[in-house]
């Protein structure tokens, strides 16, 4: 098949491109390099089955051509990272809402199956754990910029499902939970690469808030495998799936683990949210997915344990 990946030079997109090429597919990678990097795809850049476009999803003429010329679309292009979202609220909303609308409309024009990358942020401040795909969601005030990301992704889901129900566009939605691995940058607020880089440099490992908030971290290879299997499964059309690990760790314990694995002399420093992001910033205490639906659908189960993922990330940054 010929497959289009928006955000194809990004962290997850680059691993997805590699995976699809190994399966014998042709890949079209589109990226505006706002957060993606060409270095992410240097291992496959010379592949005769890879076509790279440095451009934006707002280039309607190009999107029309690329979608028409492919068999499937993975729409991963989005504003990413809490730091980036807080600093760039207009770009976040416009990219996630208007950009996704463009991709869905052209996918519908040519009736191409499309994967919409959504987010665990969608669950907001809900305490109904573990998070099931159909639960009610609770968000904070519109004055708090971080919620703009969750709200914009919710609009994406509503729009995608509307096109499925009304126009029979084959869509699959995946809510991603803290995907990590080599190539991920800490520049935009991603916690694991930031901790690893700080530890390797023997700088203070900066934990935002009290460190008691917990997350579940999944290996990018496991996540990419799940995306492809969902797109290969006809029964996944019109469905939403949590994609990630359900093994929980507090951010403070994560910092201690990174410090130990890097043999670092770093101290662990707590920084209030209002200093790290913005006044009134709100965070979720726990974020744990219920992955029973995706396990039943495609047999998904995270395979790579956290320590092994962290070791791979540490080696990547050492190089």
- Tell me if 279 sits within 8 A of 84, measured CB to CB: no
Question: What is the secondary structure of 93-126 as a DSSP string?
Answer: HIIIIIIHHHHHHHHHHTT-EEEEEEEGGGGBT-
Q: Pull the structure tokens for residue 187.
A: 């520049």
Given a contact cutoff of 8 angstroms between Cβ atoms, the answer to whether 40 and 184 are in contact is: no
Angle between helices 60-68 and 100-109 (to 10 degrees): 40
β-partners of residue 242 are: 175
Q: Cite the DSSP H helix spans in the chain.
A: 11-22, 60-68, 82-87, 89-93, 100-109, 147-167, 191-200, 220-232, 251-261, 273-276, 292-298, 306-318
Q: What is the β-pairing status of strands 248-250 and 214-216?
A: antiparallel
Helix, strand, coil shares, percent, the chain, to 5: 45, 20, 40
CB 106 within 8 A of CB 99: no
From 74, 149, 219, 277, active-site residue = 149
User: Per the structure block, which two tokens stand in for 199?
Assistant: 């530890």
139 catalytically annotated: no
Helix 220-232 and helix 11-22, axial crossing angle in degrees, nearest 10: 60
Q: Which two tokens stand for residue 242?
A: 């949590």
Beta carbons of 28 and 2 less than 8 angstroms apart: yes
Q: Give residue for tokens 């913005």.
A: 278
Residues involved in catalysis:
149
């Amino acid at each position: 098949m010929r497959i289009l990946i928006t955000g194809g030079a990004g962290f997850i997109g680059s691993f997805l491109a590699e995976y699809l090429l190994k399966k014998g597919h042709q890949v079209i990678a589109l990226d505006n390099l706002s957060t993606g990097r060409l270095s992410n795809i240097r291992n496959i850049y010379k592949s005769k089955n890879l076509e790279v476009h440095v451009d934006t999803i707002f280039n309607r003429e190009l999107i029309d051509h690329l979608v028409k010329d492919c068999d499937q679309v993975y729409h991963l292009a989005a504003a990413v990272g809490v730091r980036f979202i807080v600093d760039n609220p207009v770009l976040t909303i416009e990219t996630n809402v208007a950009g996704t609308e463009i991709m869905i409309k052209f996918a519908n024009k040519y009736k191409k199956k499309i994967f919409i990358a959504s987010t665990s942020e969608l669950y907001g401040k809900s305490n109904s754990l573990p998070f099931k795909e159909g639960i009610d969601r609770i968000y904070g005030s519109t004055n708090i910029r971080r919620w703009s990301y969750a709200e914009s992704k919710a609009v994406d889901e509503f729009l995608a499902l509307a096109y499925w129900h009304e126009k029979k566009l084959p869509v699959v939605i995946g809510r991603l939970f803290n995907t990590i691995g080599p190539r991920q940058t800490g520049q935009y607020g991603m916690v694991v690469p930031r901790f690893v880089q700080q530890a390797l440099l023997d700088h203070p490992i900066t934990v935002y808030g009290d460190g008691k908030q917990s997350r579940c971290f999944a290996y990018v290879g496991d996540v990419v495998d799940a995306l492809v299997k969902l797109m290969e499964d006809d029964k996944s059309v019109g469905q939403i799936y949590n994609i990630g690990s359900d093994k929980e760790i507090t951010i403070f314990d994560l910092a201690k683990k990174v410090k130990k694995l890097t043999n670092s002399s770093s101290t662990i420093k707590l920084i209030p949210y209002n200093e790290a992001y913005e006044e009134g910033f709100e965070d979720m205490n726990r974020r744990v997915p219920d992955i029973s639906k995706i396990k039943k659908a495609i047999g998904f189960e995270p395979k790579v344990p956290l320590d092994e993922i962290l070791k791979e990330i540490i080696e990547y940054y050492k190089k």
